[in-house]
Structure 1
Amino acid sequence: MRDDSEKRPLLVNYYERYLVDQDIDAYVCSVSASYTTGCLQRLAEVGSRTARRGAVLGLGRLGDYRANMTLGRALIDSDRGVRTLAENGIRSLWMRVGVPSVQRHLAAIEEHLEEKQYDRAAQLATGLAEDSPWIAQAWYFRGKAFFHLEQYEAATRDCHQALEINAYHFLAASVMGQAYLLTGDLVSALESFRRALRLNPNMEEVRAQVIHLQRNLKGE
């Protein structure tokens, strides 16, 4: 009789070993030596629960923007572990768009946002959006900077553009909802938060906003 372990993908063995040793570098090395990103995408969609988790983790580390749709779909996987890995992975993937100089530009903008240097972040994001208008993350970063600068109309406009380019950008939908909320447009805020939640059901704070707005609008 053939052992069941012989039938399962190597990826499952790699992932189970990673769960024990927590050596992500060794995991990525093993996966990259055995699988193409195309194979990982297929396993992320049709594999067993453990295989999907392993594939999504691998794509989050090794994939490029061509894996965006696969990771976007994984955000609504039936398994919470897959969803969590997909959220972390896709956010990392969005920072690996374009050539290395573009990626460095994105990293610099993110750093300014983290340091609350919103004017500088908006300035850098504007330059990147003008040079590479196809990069959703540039529009999202500028929208986020505008939000913190209380330029809410500009924030919603940029986040909408980010979603036009990348339909899985749940962060853009969330910021857009917050901007609408602060301008008093509760209907648009609810619509944006619902969109964010459809894209990423793990966003519990957004879920709470949806429930709150639904109650408020129903009361009116």
Structure 2
Amino acid sequence: MEDRTLRPPLIVSAYERYLNEQDSASFIRDVSRHYTCATLERLAQMADRAGRRAAVLALGFMSDYGSNAIVGRALTDRDRGVRTIAENAIRELWLRVGSREQRMTLKSIERLNQSKRYDEAIRLATELIHESPWIAEAWRQRGAAHYHLSQYEAAIRNCHQALEINPYHFTAAAGMGQCYLMQENLVAALESFRRALRLNPGLEEVRAQVVRLQRSMRDQ
């Protein structure tokens, strides 16, 4: 008689198929048939390594900003695979906040920054912030635009506000570090980079910046 106890959980089986086939639609369909986002959040914290990887991946596909804290904590999971999946997932969750129109606006701001249309990004982000000041990613995107225009004080203020709203926003912390570095405020830059690493230990470029800053400050 077949020993059913040896079968992996359904979510792990779906995850293994996803790794082999890279079919996200099938993965989402298989997982959503059996798991709610609330159950996935519990698995992301309590399951074994494969289960946590699968649950965080599923949350990245299926959930919204409401799972930010769970996925944010997964950034410091003891398993490197979970941490990597969480970093990709949480960036998507930051854009899934507010109404459909607000989400579309966030995407538009992101595209404007990517295409180096920074003044337009600032204008659109400002409109969204006036309407919904609780959207952390709007502040962070506006901060990024200010940074690229060498408006470092404005960028710092925006990144700081993003972190006040979303304490898991490692990108905002790293952005503050870059601004302070451009202002030659090495102590504040080091503090900000360390904060980003506490949130997301996988930021290797930030880790390298910390090492360089520590050496530079020791040599002074």
The bucket for the TM-score relative to the shorter chain is: over 0.9
How many Å apart are 1:187 and its aligned residue?
Answer: 0.3
| 2:123 corresponds to | 123
| 1:54 corresponds to | 54
Question: Within 5 Å, which residues of 2 pair with 1:57-206?
Answer: 57-206=57-206
| 1:4 corresponds to | 5
Taking structure 1 as the reference length, the TM-score comes to 0.97
Q: What is the percent sequence identity of the aligned residues?
A: 56
- Structure 2: segments with no counterpart, 5+ residues: none
Letter in 1 for 2:42: R
* Secondary structure of 1:158's aligned partner: helix
Taking structure 2 as the reference length, the TM-score comes to 0.97
Letter in 2 for 1:56: V
* Secondary structure of 2:133's aligned partner: coil
CA distance in 1, matches of 2:70, 2:142: 26
Runs of 4+ in 1 over 6 A off after TM superposition: none
* Secondary structure of 1:208's aligned partner: helix
* Secondary structure of 2:90's aligned partner: helix
CA distance in 2, matches of 1:19, 1:106: 30
- Structure 1: segments with no counterpart, 5+ residues: none
How many Å apart are 1:4 and its aligned residue?
Answer: 3.3
CA distance in 1, matches of 2:9, 2:154: 48
* Secondary structure of 2:33's aligned partner: helix
Q: Root-mean-square deviation (CA), in Å? A: 1.0
Number of residue pairs matched by the alignment: 219
How many Å apart are 1:219 and its aligned residue?
Answer: 1.9
